């Protein structure tokens, strides 16, 4: 039976070690070759993606060339710019792969705004890491040059700049995404977590924040009435005791079991924890399953239901 699936693409599906446009497009071509398996399976695909490395790099470029004649763009506009850039790459890659396979479908990237609460405490406590990883010495130098930057350690992988990351409340273009999917197109939405906007008086105003794409994807899956939320990352399974000799892959897990693992601090903030929390949120809201697995395991998931499958009970 045809299912509507929201797929959230992790960093490794877009950027590996080379941040050039050519290299990211090459990586995305490989990603599209994997994603097309859902289309071949008859599923209705909606694609979401992150932008952490790209939006941080863009902020650096903005700061480097900031002048009266060429002013730096604010973070909300940089998020929209990365949605557009990465969305274009994904659209191009998906269309190329589908055309080569004789699949008569088009993908369409949609600039997507997400309403957040202007009083979300996240605005006062930047946690979302963006841009390149730095050594401690580089981080100290950066902090000295930009005393207003918040720089934090990122899940044991080095230091990065952190920006506010409010929770998504309402996707303004959700109906348009559903319409596109209903018409047989493949929407690409909530790129980079969506552009955060908040009600200020009579109008919506762009907020300088980066919403976590895992939470934005879960919201997208809820609001577009998707049958499943699939988060694609670099690992086939979520593990308990990850990286230790006694690590154990989680295959089929219930929400109460996952909540217990969260209490045991099995999942680091900023890497696996938001994926697990977003999955729980989606499963609780819909009763449908959420999946966390590797991009390279799409076939395994479709054939054998492998990966980490999270269900209500
Ligand atoms: N308990 C865990 N189980 C599986 N992976 C984990 C766990 N803890 C940390 N990780 C790491 O988290 C990574 C996924 O987070 P991250 O790379 O930030 O996501 P994204 O794919 O969205 O960019 C995995 O590739 C893995 O290296
Ligand atoms: N916006 C966002 O969550 O991006 P990453 O997944 O690349 O960190």
pLDDT tens sequence across 170-226: 999 999 999 999 999 999 999 999 999 999 999 999 999 999 999 999 999 999 999
Q: Which ligand number lies closest to the CA of residue 212?
A: 2
CATH code: domain of residue 54: 3.40.1160.10
Element (H, E) at 126: none
163 domain-assigned: no
Distance (angstroms) between ligand 1 centre and the Cα of 233 equals: 7
Residue numbers of the domain that contains 219: 4-111+172-194+210-311
202 domain-assigned: no
Check residue 274 and give its pLDDT: 97
Tell me which residues of the chain have a pLDDT lower than 70: 1
Residues facing residue 304 across a β-bridge: none
Structural domain tally of the chain?
1
Looking from the CA of residue 14, the nearest atom of ligand 2 is 7
Distance (angstroms) between ligand 2 centre and the Cα of 216 equals: 10
**Is 275 a catalytic site residue?**
yes
**Is 11 a catalytic site residue?**
yes
165 domain-assigned: no
Instruction: Report the distance separating Cα 87 and Cα 81, nearest Å.
Output: 10
pTM of the model: 0.97
89 domain-assigned: yes
Check residue 1 and give its pLDDT: 65
220 domain-assigned: yes
Q: Which ligand number lies closest to the CA of residue 50?
A: 2
Q: Identify whether the C-beta of residue 177 lies closer than 8 Å to the C-beta of residue 110.
A: yes
Any atom of ligand 2 within 6 Å of the Cβ of 192: yes
145 domain-assigned: no
Tokens of 199: 């009600």
ipTM topping 0.90: yes
């Amino acid at each position: 039976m045809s299912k509507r699936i929201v797929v959230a693409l992790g960093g490794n599906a877009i950027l590996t070690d080379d941040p050039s446009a050519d290299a990211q497009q090459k990586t995305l071509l490989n990603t599209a070759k994997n994603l097309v398996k859902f289309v071949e399976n008859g599923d209705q695909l909606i694609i979401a993606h992150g932008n952490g490395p790209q939006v941080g790099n863009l902020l650096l470029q903005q700061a480097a060339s900031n002048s009266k004649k060429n002013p730096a763009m604010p973070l909300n506009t940089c998020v929209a710019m990365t949605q557009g850039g990465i969305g274009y790459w994904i659209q191009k890659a998906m269309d190329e792969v589908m055309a080569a396979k004789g699949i008569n479908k088009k993908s369409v990237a949609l600039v997507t705004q997400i309403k957040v609460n202007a009083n979300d405490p996240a605005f006062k406590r930047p946690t979302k890491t963006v841009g390149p990883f730095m050594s401690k010495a580089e981080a100290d130098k950066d902090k000295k040059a930009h005393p207003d930057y918040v720089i934090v350690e990122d899940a044991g992988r080095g230091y990065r700049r952190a920006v506010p990351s409010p929770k998504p409340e309402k996707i303004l273009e959700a109906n348009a995404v559903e319409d596109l999917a209903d018409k047989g197109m493949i929407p690409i939405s909530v790129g980079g977590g969506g552009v955060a906007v908040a009600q200020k008086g009579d109008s919506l105003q762009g907020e300088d924040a980066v919403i976590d794409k895992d939470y934005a994807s879960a919201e997208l899956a809820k609001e577009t009435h998707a049958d499943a939320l699939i988060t694609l990352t670099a690992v086939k399974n979520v593990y308990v005791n990850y990286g230790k000799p006694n690590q154990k892959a989680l295959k089929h897990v219930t929400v109460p079991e996952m909540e217990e693992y969260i209490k045991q601090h099995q999942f680091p903030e900023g890497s696996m924890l938001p994926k697990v929390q977003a999955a729980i949120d989606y499963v609780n809201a819909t009763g449908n399953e959420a999946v966390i697995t590797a991009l390279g395991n799409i076939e395994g998931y479709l054939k054998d239901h492998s990966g980490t499958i999270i269900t209500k009970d």
